[in-house]
Amino acid sequence: MRAVHLLLWVALPYAAIAIFLAGHAWRYRTDQYGWTTRSTQILESRWLKWGSPLFHLGALAAIGGHVLGILIPTSWTETAGVSGEAYHALSATAGTIAGLACVAGILILVYRRTASARVRVTTTRMDVVVYVLLIVVIGLGVVETIGRNALGGGYDYRATVAVWFRSIVFFHPEPDAMVGAPILYQLHAAAAWLILAVWPFSRLVHAWSIPLQYLGRPPVLYRRRWAPVRPRRSERRLPSSPGGGRR
């Protein structure tokens, strides 16, 4: 085991997790008013309305797929009656759809951020770092899923990457499991830890502030300040004065 392997597959993950946790506590205590998406919807919404849902839904689906493919051991899915072939078909199909949605979404968001001058001026250095990391992680993930698993000869990442990932989560690191994985998978995982490390210092913190109360609150009613110039047909039938109009 070389020092670089320990650095990449033990030190990096734990350092990223520590920075992620401590960073969120620090940000929450020092910058609650800055805890926001820093939305630019008011500056540009034509591209945002496509890019944002494609990116967010694709990313959520991909992360859901990671839970199934990486956190759940092969033995469990086999016990549940899901064969290796069935798992492969499901992960390649769902992963391809999720990955393509993610790629389309992030490309639209990056285009919008560079093409719209008003959005461009609001872009910080941290935004650039996050975009670059997301493009690297999503790009490599899609090449793995489509290039290697859906169209190529396939790679059983559940026997290597997944074993290593679970070993980190359960605090008995097995860096050896990752050493033999193809470079694409190694780069994807290493860059993913970097996203975790910058998360608390970026606008990604908004992910923990989903406005779930919106689902239950009464709807906001917008009314005109002035009466419309020409009353609507339904309004025309209303009595104009007490005792007037139809009964």
State the residues that interact with ligand HEM by CB under 6 A: 59, 62, 65-66, 70, 91, 95, 98-99, 102, 137-138, 141-142, 144-145, 148-149, 157, 161, 165, 185, 188-189, 192-193, 195
Nearer Cβ to ligand HEM (17/43): 17
For residue 13, the tally of other CB atoms under 10 A from its CB is 24
- Give the CA distances from residue 198 to residues 18, 70, 194, 203, 219, in Å, rounded to whole numbers and listed in that order: 11, 23, 6, 10, 36
State the nearest-atom distance from the C-beta of 206 to ligand HEM, in Å: 15
Q: Are 141 and 61 in contact (CB under 8 A)?
A: no
Query: Considering beta carbons, is residue 64 or 231 the nearer one to ligand HEM?
Result: 64
| CA separation for the pair 31, 29 (Å, rounded) | 6
Compute the least distance from the CB of residue 79 to ligand HEM, in Å.
21
Residue nearest to ligand HEM (CB): 141
If you ran DSSP here, which 8-state letter would residue 158 be given? G
Distance of alpha carbon 149 from alpha carbon 136, whole angstroms: 18
- The nearest distance, CB 225 to ligand HEM, in angstroms, is 44
CA gyration radius for the chain? 25
* Minimum separation from the CB atom of position 238 to ligand HEM (A): 55
State the nearest-atom distance from the C-beta of 85 to ligand HEM, in Å.
Answer: 14
Q: How far is the CB of 101 from ligand HEM (least distance, A)?
A: 9
Tokens 């009353």 correspond to 231
Q: Output 99 or 173, the one with its CB closest to ligand HEM.
A: 99
Closest alpha carbon to 59 in 120, 137, 123:
137
Number of H helices and E strands in the chain, helices first, is: 11, 0
User: From CA 115, how far away is CA 126, in angstroms rounded?
Assistant: 19
Whether the Cβ atoms of residue 35 and residue 205 lie closer than 8 Å to each other? yes
Question: Smaller CB distance to ligand HEM: residue 89 or 115?
Answer: 89
- Cβ closer to ligand HEM: 112 or 193? 193
By beta-carbon proximity to ligand HEM, the closer residue of 48 and 55 is 55
